[in-house]
Each structure stands twice: as structure tokens, then as C-alpha cells.
Amino acid sequence: MFKYKALTVLAGVTAATPAFAEEVDIWVRTSTAPILEAMAESYNASHEDQISIVPVVAEQMVPKLGAALAGGAAPSAVAMDLIYMPTFAAAGMLEDMTDFIDSLPYSDALSPSHVRLATYEGKKYGVPLTPDASVIVYNTDLLDAAGVDPSALESLESLAEAAVSISELDDETYGFMFVGNSGSWMAYDFLPHIWAGGDDILSEDGRSQTVDTPSMRATLQLYNDMWEAGAIHPTTRSGNGNSAVEAFASGQVGILMSGSYIVNLMTANYPDVNFGIAPIPGPTGGTATFAGGDDVVMIEGISDEKRALVEDFIEYYMQPEQQVTITELAGMPSRTDLAEEAYADFDERNLIAYDMLQSGFTPYTYANDALFISLTGPWLELLETAIFDGDVDGAIEMAEGRFEQILERTNP
């Protein structure tokens, strides 16, 4: 229990004022809010000190938080998309949580990629809340109809052949789909192909580009081959995540690039669809995943009382009982040592993504939005030019130059 107690001494008589419960506001993007609200509700019911959850639209989180920090009105803590951790840590906006994190008895069981993104110059600034991992989801009925064995998804080369076979079933069926006009979706689902091939798009410290690799060239060419063959759903180029799920659930798509959340979403909303989950392959084999999700961070300068409350709340939601609830709501626990407890009553297909998370990747970058998210940024231009226009060489040459310009401007 963390209370603020004020003692006054007056005329030789000591008198204690009433104790006041502490309260902490935690900002969270709306997609994660239901999970953190559930944790806060159960925590508040058994504690005098209180956690208040403030949902923020995901696209507005970074500019709103930046404005709040500049105006001296920032919250005490934030459940932050881990991709932004290096930027805020390098700017000196986050509280050092190294001693607290290292003291946790399960510190070795925290998602490695979440810890890596939360680390800047040897200090740790965040604790995992809601991990997720990118995966492939496939329609088993369509694969059966096309004579495709799920083992064909073990390399992108054989996956592309399977996609063409599925698309030949009839004019309304397509073999492959992804969210092609979203930089964040394509980082989440496309980059694992590159990592699985043993390459990367950025150096390990995020300060230089490594766009032109054999894996990048092969992956772009295979995607273009599927597009030219008519094996990719036509709304891939302009649709969003919801339309992609709807197309898959309606039986129009055989193989969809997706994330670990898809198991719970499909079983809850489309129970009649028969589907399987597979890791994302490299061009000729290997597997990798994008480790996404949120870290809980504290804003630099937080008071000792509020800091103690945030740490107590983190330890609360890290306990096995709360980890089961997080798995039920999000599909994956925050800790990697609780598979038996977390998945005892849930769909075992979740375990495929769970196993991948432990070796997941996430780009370490100080320029995520400029590189990967912006609609006019080099990432989307690279994919659009190579996949849909068929100019792989020109797309890579352009991306190398634009990546370098942005990195020179944004590296701390």
C-alpha cells in the first residue's frame, strides 16, 4: 500500500492528517485499452491506491504525448507501442526502470524483443504488457481443395506456388492477401520474410540502412510474381486490416498475413471457418516474426509515491492469474515462462505465435514514423514500386537513398 501521509508538528503536539490514497493515470492506445482496463479494475477492487486508464487513439498517441510533455501535462505512465521506445528513451523523456526490472524474479522470462527495444545506452525503460507476434493464417478447406499441403508454407517460394494453385480454383478465390497500403502492417508482416532469410533492413543499432539484401530482392520478386499471376486479392493494394479479415473469413482468400490476435478473433466471430496458423517463412526457408505490442513506461520525473504505485501495478499484472486473463483478452501472456498456465483453457494454435515470440525481431529505430509509417515515406514507396509496379531494382535504389537521408536527420 502506497499512501501519502502528511505529518505536522504544532506546539509540541504531533498530529497526523488523514491518509490519502495515491492515484496514477496511465495512457494507453485504444486497441490495448480493454486489457489494461480489466487489469486496473481488478487491481483497484483490492487496493486503496488507484490506477486510472486513459485510452488514446493510436495514431494520436505520439503527437499527443509529445505535446503533453512539452506543456508539462504528461501522464505519470504510458502503455507505449514498443517501436517508439528508442525515440522517447533517447530524448530523455522516460524514467530509468533498470533496478526494478532486474529485481523481478521472472526478469529472464520477459519478451526479449520488448526488453531490447526498451533498452537505451544500457538502461531499461519499460516492462512488457501485451506482446503479439505476426503469423500466417490459412484456410484449410481451400488448401485441401487446391491440393496444397500446409508444409508448402515453409518457404515463400513454395507458398507463392500454393497461392497460385488456390487462385485457380475459381474466379472469386485468391491465394494470398496482406494489407498493402499500411506501413505498420507491412513492417509487421513483410519484414519477417527478410529476417527469416538471415538479413535485415536496418543495422542492429538502427543508425544505418541495409535495404539491398538477397532476402529483400527475393521476397519483393516473389510478391510481384503472385501479383502478376492474379493470385493476390485485388483489395490488398487499398484495403485495411478489417477488410482483409473479412475477405479471409468469407472464404475468398487462402493465405493471409496476420498476427497472433487472429486465433481469438476467428474463433469468437467466425467459428465455422476452418483455419490453421503457421510461422512466416523466408524466401527459401527459415522462420521469423515481428514482436509487437506495448511496454509500460514511466515518464521522467515521476514522484516516488507514484513510481511505487506503478511498480506495484506491474507486479500485479505479471502474476499468473492476471497473465491468464491477459492471454484470454490478447492471445498471449506478457511472460514467456507461463505457457502451461496461460494456455491451459485456450486454443493451442496460439502456441505457434507464442513460441515464435521468444525469438522475435523488432526494428530498433529512432525514425519509425518517417521510415515505415508515413504514407509518403520510403517503406511504402519501396513496396508499391516493387510489388505492384514490378520495378524491384528501381525500388531498392530509391529506398536506399531515402532511408539514408532520414537516418542522417534523425539519428541521436
Chain mean position to CA 273: 25
- Confidence at 15, pLDDT banded by 50, 70, 90: very low
Same domain for 262 and 114 = no
Q: Give the span between the Cα atoms of 164 and 148, in whole angstroms.
A: 10
Most confident of 21-25, 159-163, 343-347, 348-352: 159-163
Share of the chain above pLDDT 90, in %: 79
C-alpha span between 338 and 131 (Å, rounded)? 13
Based on the domain organization, do 235 and 373 belong to the same domain? yes
273-292 average pLDDT score: 96
* pLDDT classification of 166: cutoffs 50, 70, 90: very high
Query: Does residue 77 sit in the same domain as residue 174?
Result: no
Answering whether pTM is above 0.85, one says yes
Task: Provide DSSP, 93-144.
Answer: -B---HHHHHHSTTGGGB-HHHHHHTEETTEE--EEEEEEEEEEEEEHHHHH
Cβ atoms of 51 and 313 within 8 Å: the answer is yes
Give the pLDDT score at 14.
38
Residue 1 has a pLDDT of: 43
Cβ pair 339, 38 in contact under 8 A: no
Q: Is 80 exceeded by the pLDDT of residue 9?
A: no
* Beta carbons of 115 and 124 less than 8 angstroms apart: yes
For residues 61 and 145, state if they share a domain.
no
Residues 202 and 259 reside in one and the same domain: yes
Asked if residue 284 is part of any domain, the answer here is yes
Measured over the CA atoms of residue 291, residue 58, residue 191 and residue 138, the dihedral's sign is: positive
Q: For the chain, what is the mean pLDDT?
A: 92
Say if residue 76's pLDDT is above 70. yes
Same domain? For 301 and 330 the reply is yes
Q: How confident is the model at residue 20 (pLDDT cuts 50, 70, 90)?
A: low
Domain-ending residue, one of 314, 337, 358? 358
| Spatial separation of the C-alpha atoms in residues 273 and 346, rounded to whole Å | 17
Strand pairing report for 119-120 and 127-139: unpaired
> Looking at 47-51, 140-144, 332-336, 345-349, which range is the least confident one?
345-349
Residue 16 covered by a domain: no
Other CB atoms within 10 A of residue 109 CB: 17
Residue with cell 481488478: 42
Residue 78: pLDDT band (50, 70, 90) is very high
pLDDT at position 115, please?
A: 92
- Total number of domains in the chain: 2
Owning domain of residue 179: 134-289+365-410
Integer angstrom CA distances of residue 35 from 30, 101, 125, 160: 10, 21, 21, 37
User: The C-alpha cell of 29 is what?
Assistant: 492506445
The answer as to whether 17 is a domain residue is: no
Task: Give the separation between CA 55 and CA 154, rounded to whole angstroms.
Answer: 39
Is residue 120 in a domain? Answer: yes
| Whether pLDDT at 274 is above 70 | yes
Residues 109 and 222 grouped into a single domain? no
Q: How confident is the model at residue 359 (pLDDT cuts 50, 70, 90)?
A: confident
- More reliable by pLDDT, 5 or 384: 384
DSSP 35-48: HHHHHHHHHHHH-S
Residue 232's alpha-carbon distances to 145, 258, 262, in angstroms, are: 18, 15, 20
User: Is position 18 within any domain?
Assistant: no
Q: Are residues 255 and 387 in the same domain?
A: yes
- Better-predicted residue by pLDDT, 5 or 300: 300
Average pLDDT over every residue of 289-310 = 95
Average pLDDT value for residue range 353-374: 91
Whether residue 101 is contained in a domain is answered as: yes
Determine, yes or no, domain membership for 10: no
Burial class (CB in 10 A: 0-12, 13-18, 19+), 350: buried
What pLDDT band is residue 19 in, cutting at 50, 70 and 90?
A: low
pLDDT of residue 7: 33
Report the pLDDT averaged over residues 133-155: 97
Report whether pLDDT(6) > 60. Answer: no
pLDDT at position 334 is 86
What are residue 231's phi and psi, to 5 degrees? -90, -10
Digit-coded pLDDT (tens) for 88-143: 999 999 999 999 999 999 999 998 889 999 999 999 999 999 888 999 999 999 99
How far apart CA 130 and CA 114 sit, in angstroms, is 10
- 390: domain CATH number is 3.40.190.10
What's the confidence (pLDDT) of residue 8? 35
Q: Are residues 128 and 138 in the same domain?
A: no
Residues 228, 371 within the same domain: yes
User: How many angstroms separate the Cα of 195 from the Cα of each of 53, 61, 96, 180, 201?
Assistant: 36, 28, 30, 19, 9
Query: Does residue 7 lie in a domain region?
Result: no
271 and 306 inside one domain: no
- How would residue 59 be classed by pLDDT, with cut points 50, 70 and 90? confident
Q: Are residues 272 and 229 part of one domain? A: yes
